[in-house]
Amino acid sequence: QRGKPVVDLSQLNPRQKEAAKYVDGPLLVLAGAGSGKTSVITRKIAYLIGVCGIKSYHIAAVTFTNKAAREMKERVMSLVGKGGAKGLTVSTFHNLGLNIIRHELTTAGYKNGFSILDQDDCKGIIRDVMHREHGDDGDMIELVQNAISNLKNDLIAPDHAIKVASTPQELLIAQTYSVYQRMLKAYNAVDFDDLIMVPTVLFRDHPEVLTRWQKKIRYLLVDEYQDTNTSQYELVKLLVGHRTGLTVVGDDDQSIYAWRGARPENLSLLKKDFPTLKIVKLEQNYRSTGLILNAANRVIDNNPHEFEKKLWSDMGYGDPIKILKCRNDEVEAERIATEIVERRLRYGCGYRDFAVLYRGNHQSRVIEMKLQAYQVPYKLSGGQSFFGRNEIKDIMGYLRLLINPTDDAAFLRVINTPRREIGPTTIEKLGEYAAMRGISMMAATTEMGLEQQLMPKALDRLRRFGHWLEGITRNAYTDDPVAAVKEMISDIDYEGYLLQNSGTPNQAERRMKNVWFLVDSISKMIAKAEELGDECTIEDAVSKLILRDMMEQQEKEDEADQVQLMTLHASKGLEFPHVYIMGMEEELMPHRNSIEADTIEEERRLMYVGITRAKRTLTLTYAGKRRQFGEAMDTTHSRFLDELPPDDIVWEGKTETSAEEQKQRGQETLSSLRNMLADF
Ligand code: ATP
Ligand code: MG
């Protein structure tokens, strides 16, 4: 009776429409890349709100990255308006978990002000535990950390892990897991995997809590379903219960997180767990040209297939796929940089239309240098930002504690960095004592009651730390704040610590420079305020830095006109008109570990993900020689290049060209570039 339909589904094809409108039972949309799975989710949310009359507050959509979540929310808002989307949950699994923990804090066994520890913080705890309990010198830390993460993703509790351990190594892992988990609890902290495990276990053990959440989330939609792990799947199952409000979309060919516990078989499990499951398959790709799609299909055909899927495109054939063999890694980066400059002018497009993808984060450095040299703006996703650097996080930890002694997360970050011989048991007891008294860990260090809890030596070390920081804080507020900060850095001999804990003296020096850059920023802030006749305390300055840190994170996500640099993993779900994939060499792509572990199929899926990001052009590059550990090593081109349809590719440099020719070609590109720039 409203005249025109509230929600316009006319842009969807019949199958997509069917999926968007189906609300009578659980639904799985199983389809290849670029077929509009994510589009179905956003339209469906609009349909649920606009046509089915479900309050947005009762709808939750889960995606894989923060970026994807933000984009999805924006798309929904453009469909139903800001008001219509009010209260709608669109988040990553981890954010959803965090939200649940926040609401159920006490039932989950935490108290206010709990912290989320990052990978490095957790590694530090594991290192200490293993050192204490097993005299381990640090070789096994990564292995143990991964193993603990896998146990959590599989929802295996420490006790159970100990019970079923069948080798000494498994037992070591399980025991470390047990102590580690106790310490996290004592710190009132969770790690990344807990964000999923804790709510799942909570729902299992507390039906009344689960019922409350089931009442809240009446419709759940999950994107990139092939990459959910056991605990995420369990969370989904619990939330949905016996009801019908579930839509999941996925593509088994894009499962690329098995190494992080993802279980692509969750796709087939769905049918078992939800007997009324309806399956919709989409076959038209709206993203890529015919040749790009054909290449993707050909590559992935080399993998065995559980689900039959077809994918076609009517976007025209498009340009052939380019493969560039370059002399070495530097020439490779140079070629990409110059091509981007050239193509941007030729196609009249923006920098943002280009993406350079690679297998590992370390590969970004050389392309970054070249893009800088050509003054091409770029955005690095997932790389290290200034505030993400360990040395900056350390010093910021001290500064945060200095302006706010109740910041327990900061306390934990700095208490043993540099080492103060304050062991995990001491910290655990301190944490418990602080929790019991309802005060911060910092405040607890100087309390009298602690004497009953701790050995005199441990107590002494803690107190010394407490008093020392109090002294620094006093100086920072009453004297020259910058001098106090410098004194703090010299007192803890941070430079010596970096020298001992960096790979090379050079690296230590670079890291120390970052620290001085930070101190310098504080000093400039204060000086600037004084110039203006304002007062700027150490607290003001540090608060501003914390804000800047948050803004940097925000900016990282903003859409500016920049070339996008990211790993193949991070590119999932995204699309770009022009895509470069660099380092197409054996041992790099496929990765050496996958060759050794015989997990080539997962690498091939990663290749499939990479190829299918491209809308108009795809360029694959590799270097004949690549520098490794300071030496230029000969390489072999990736096997995946040989899997591409030979008629659809232009392979430059496959038959050996002389260095002379290469050089000449480089010069030609450069001179044509100059001409174009002159025209511009
Ligand atoms: P991936 O597997 O890579 O996550 P996907 O299946 O989620 O891909 P989308 O990102 O939803 O695919 O869609 C790919 C592109 O196709 C987008 O640019 C989207 O706007 C467009 N698209 C989707 N459906 C249609 C349609 N029916 N008509 C026109 N364009 C469409
Ligand atoms: Mg998608």
Q: How confident is the model at residue 4 (pLDDT cuts 50, 70, 90)?
A: very low
Percent of the chain with pLDDT over 70: 92
CA 251 / ligand 1 centre spacing (Å): 13
Q: How confident is the model at residue 629 (pLDDT cuts 50, 70, 90)?
A: low
Cβ of 37 closer than 6 Å to ligand 1, yes or no, is yes
When pLDDT is averaged across residues 520-541 and rounded to a whole number, the result is 82
Cβ of 13 closer than 6 Å to ligand 1, yes or no, is yes
Residue 387, phi then psi, degrees to nearest 5: -75, -10
pLDDT for the residue 217: 95
Q: What is the pLDDT of residues 329-363, one digit of tens each?
A: 989 999 999 999 999 999 899 999 999 999 988 78
Compute the distance between CA of residue 184 and CA of residue 481 in angstroms, rounded to an integer.
34
Q: How many residues are recorded in the chain? A: 680
pLDDT for the residue 1: 39
224 is catalytic: yes
Alpha helices (H) along 309-454 = 329-347, 364-373, 390-403, 408-414, 424-437, 441-445
The answer to whether residues 28 and 249 touch, using CB atoms and an 8 Å cutoff, is yes
Q: What is the pLDDT of residues 192-206, one digit of tens each?
A: 899 999 999 999 999
Q: How confident is the model at residue 261 (pLDDT cuts 50, 70, 90)?
A: confident
To the nearest 10 degrees (0 to 180), the angle between helices 456-478 and 538-557 is 100
Q: At residue 414, does pLDDT exceed 80?
A: yes
| ipTM reported for the complex, 2 dp | 0.99
Q: Which helix (H) or strand (E) holds 60?
A: strand 59-63
Chain-wide mean pLDDT for the chain?
87
Q: How confident is the model at residue 533 (pLDDT cuts 50, 70, 90)?
A: confident
Q: How confident is the model at residue 586 (pLDDT cuts 50, 70, 90)?
A: very high
Compute the distance between CA of residue 5 and CA of residue 317 in angstroms, rounded to an integer.
37
Catalytic residue among 128, 191, 223, 253: 223
Q: What is the pLDDT of residues 652-672, one digit of tens each?
A: 988 765 555 666 666 666 666
464 is catalytic: no
Q: What is the pLDDT of residues 123-142, one digit of tens each?
A: 878 888 888 877 777 778 88
- The pTM assigned to this predicted structure is 0.77
Burial class (CB in 10 A: 0-12, 13-18, 19+), 593: exposed
185 is catalytic: no
Q: What is the pLDDT of residues 315-327, one digit of tens each?
A: 999 999 999 999 9
What token pair was written down for 106? 């006490």
Ligand nearest to the CA of 33: 1
Residues 6+ apart with CB under 8 A from 523: 482
Q: At residue 282, does pLDDT exceed 70?
A: yes
CA 36 / ligand 1 centre spacing (Å): 3
Q: At residue 60, does pLDDT exceed 70?
A: yes
Residue 437, phi then psi, degrees to nearest 5: -85, -10
Percent of the chain with pLDDT over 90: 52
Residue nearest to atom 31 of ligand 1 (CA): 286
Q: Which of 38, 71, 612 to mutate to test the pocket of ligand 1 (most atoms within 8 A of CB)?
A: 38
When pLDDT is averaged across residues 507-531 and rounded to a whole number, the result is 84
Q: At residue 555, does pLDDT exceed 70?
A: no
Cβ of 22 closer than 6 Å to ligand 1, yes or no, is no
Report the nearest atom of ligand 1 relative to the CA of 33: 2
SS3 category, 62:
strand
Cβ of 39 closer than 6 Å to ligand 1, yes or no, is yes
